[in-house]
């Protein structure tokens, strides 16, 4: 069974803090993704990575950066958290070619105060 | 720019009824159209998918209908059950692409 795990289910941070969200997959997938999920807006792609140390901006990369030093791990970084980054963050992985199939983690509910 | 438009935003259906969720897309280069189901506290999971050369695909109580000329596709849930209560996302992807484009989601509640 494919497993995508995220480091925290719930996280509360203060404005201006640096925030790290970690994601690990155990299926040796080439592709990994970070989304944020907001009511009425669906899933919006922040960044994705198609190989180690490779990354590509998604639709809403502003205020975020990512790191992929190892194939199984993909980190999302909020350099200086702001209240408008309060959201559900979902990590996903997929093989290549993806064929439309992505495996999602359970999500991290981030609240920025 | 929302490339996949999904409606309705929320839906309440009686147990045993038919749930219908509609999606429309703009990019004719999309080659694969999956639906994802998300239960509370969980990440989305692939439910069913269709390619544009097929007009309908059925898996159990779930059916995708696809209208290529209208650039629309829909999910029908027959004999809806309370256990089907979830958020449903339609999506689209380019051939050989890696990035899914998701609709805004539909919150389905099936009343018993």
Domain parsing of chain A, residue ranges: 4-107
pLDDT in the model for residue B98: 78
Q: Is A40 on the interface with B (CB under 8 A)?
A: yes
Q: Which domain holds residue B90?
A: 4-111
- Report residue B2's pLDDT band, with 50, 70 and 90 as the boundaries: low
The rounded distance, in Å, linking the Cα atoms of A88 and A9 is: 9
A45 touches chain B (CB under 8 A): yes
**A-B contacts (CB, under 8 Å):** 60
Please choose, from the candidates A80, A77, A82, the residue with its C-alpha nearest in 3D space to the C-alpha of residue A17.
A80
Answer whether B42 sits within 8 Å of A4, measured CB to CB: no
pLDDT at position B1 over 60: no
When the pLDDT of each residue in chain A is averaged and rounded to a whole number, the result is 93
Per-residue pLDDT, A101:
86
The CATH number for B94's domain is: 2.60.40.10
Chain B residues within an 8 Å CB radius of A99? 32
Contacts of A31 in chain B (CB under 8 A): 98
E-strand stretches of B1-112: 4-7, 10-14, 19-25, 30-38, 45-50, 56-59, 62-67, 72-77, 86-94, 101-102, 106-111
Model pLDDT, residue A38: 93
Report, as an integer, the average pLDDT of B3-25: 97
B60/A contact by beta carbon, under 8 A: no
Predicted confidence at residue A95, as pLDDT, reads 85
The total domain count for chain B is 1
Nearest-neighbour CA in chain B from A90: distance (Å): 7
Q: Say if the Cβ atoms of A106 and B33 lie within 8 Å.
A: no
Between A64-68, A80-84, A96-100, B59-63, the lowest mean confidence (pLDDT) is in A96-100
What is the model's pLDDT at position A100?
79
Q: Which pLDDT band, with edges at 50, 70 and 90, does A99 fall under?
A: low
> Least CA distance to A33: which residue of chain B?
B99
pLDDT in tens, B46-100: 999 999 899 999 999 999 999 999 999 999 999 999 999 999 999 999 877 778 9
A90·B43 Cβ contact <8 A: yes
pLDDT over 60 (residue B45): yes
Q: Is B11 on the interface with A (CB under 8 A)?
A: no
Mean pLDDT over A14-42 rounds to 94
Which SS3 state, helix, strand or coil, does residue A60 take?
A: coil
Higher per-residue confidence, A2 vs A39: A39
Tell me if residue B83 falls in helix, strand or coil. helix
Name, in order, each residue with C-beta under 8 angstroms of A20's C-beta and a sequence gap of 6 or more: A7, A75, A76, A77
Per-residue pLDDT for B7 more than 70?
Answer: yes
Q: Which residues of B touch A102 (CB under 8 A)?
A: 46, 100
Residues A43-62: pLDDT tens digits? Answer: 999 999 999 988 999 999 99
Rounded to 5 degrees, what are φ and ψ at B10? -145, 155
Alpha helices in chain A (DSSP H): none
CA-CA distance, A88 to B81, in Å (whole number)?
27
The predicted structure's pLDDT at residue A96: 76
Average pLDDT over chain B reads: 94
Mean pLDDT of the region A98-106: 86
Q: Does domain A4-107 have CATH number 2.60.40.10?
A: yes
pLDDT score at B94: 86
Average pLDDT, stretch B31-46? 94
């Amino acid at each position: 069974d494919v497993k995508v795990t995220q480091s925290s289910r719930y996280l509360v941070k203060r404005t201006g803090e640096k925030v790290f969200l970690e994601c690990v997959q155990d299926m040796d997938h080439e592709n990994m993704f970070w989304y944020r999920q907001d009511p009425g807006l669906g899933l919006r792609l922040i960044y994705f990575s198609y190989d180690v140390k490779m990354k590509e901006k998604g639709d809403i990369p502003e205020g975020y950066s990512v790191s992929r030093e190892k194939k199984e791990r993909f980190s999302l970084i909020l350099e200086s958290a702001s209240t408008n980054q309060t959201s559900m963050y979902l990590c996903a992985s997929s093989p290549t070619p993806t064929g439309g199939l992505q495996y999602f983690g359970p999500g991290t509910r981030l609240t920025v105060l | 720019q929302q490339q996949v438009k999904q409606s309705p935003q929320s839906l309440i259906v009686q147990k045993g009824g038919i749930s219908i969720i509609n999606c429309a897309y703009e990019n004719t280069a999309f080659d694969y159209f999956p639906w994802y189901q998300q239960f509370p506290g969980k990440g989305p999971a692939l439910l069913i998918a269709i390619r544009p050369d097929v007009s309908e695909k059925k898996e159990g109580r779930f059916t995708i209908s696809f209208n290529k000329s209208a650039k629309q596709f829909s999910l029908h849930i027959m004999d809806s059950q309370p256990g089907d209560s979830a958020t449903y996302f339609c999506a689209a992807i380019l051939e050989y692409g890696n990035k899914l484009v998701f609709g805004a989601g539909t919150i389905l509640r099936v009343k018993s």
